[in-house]
Amino acid sequence: MSFLPDAFFCDACGAQKREVNHWWNIDMQGFISGTPEDHATADTRLPAFMLVPFNAELARQDDIKSACGQLCAHKIMDEYMSQLLIECK
């Protein structure tokens, strides 16, 4: 995510965050286990898309994306899903 000390921008459309509260943080680097945790291996880990209400501290992390609303969150999710399909081929 691009940010200045007190400014955040949407990773989908570039809009700057103002005082509205419908922004989201998105983590596309996580994984969930396809089996119970005590039996999980690298082969059973599945990619995870996590969407949470906006948090400034979280948004400052390099691997976290931010979306200014539902439409942009959907756009980022669509890009994520398309990339997964390409990688699975």
How, if at all, do strands 7-8 and 3-4 pair? antiparallel
pLDDT above 80 (res 6): no
Distance between CA atoms of 86 and 89, rounded to whole angstroms?
6
| pLDDT for the residue 5 | 64
Average pLDDT, the chain: 84
pTM: 0.76
For residue range 17-67, what is the model confidence (pLDDT) as tens digits? 998 879 999 998 877 666 665 555 556 677 788 999 999 999 999 999 999
User: Measured over all CA atoms, what is the biggest interatomic distance in the chain, rounded to whole angstroms?
Assistant: 45
- Tokens 């439409």 belong to 71
> What secondary structure letter does DSSP report for 16?
B
| pLDDT for the residue 2 | 52
Question: Using 50, 70 and 90 to split pLDDT, how confident is the model at 77?
Answer: very high
| pLDDT for the residue 25 | 97
Q: Work out the burial of residue 57: count CB atoms within 10 Å of its CB; fewer than 13 is exposed, 13-18 middle, 19 or more buried.
A: exposed
Distance between CA atoms of 75 and 89, rounded to whole angstroms?
22
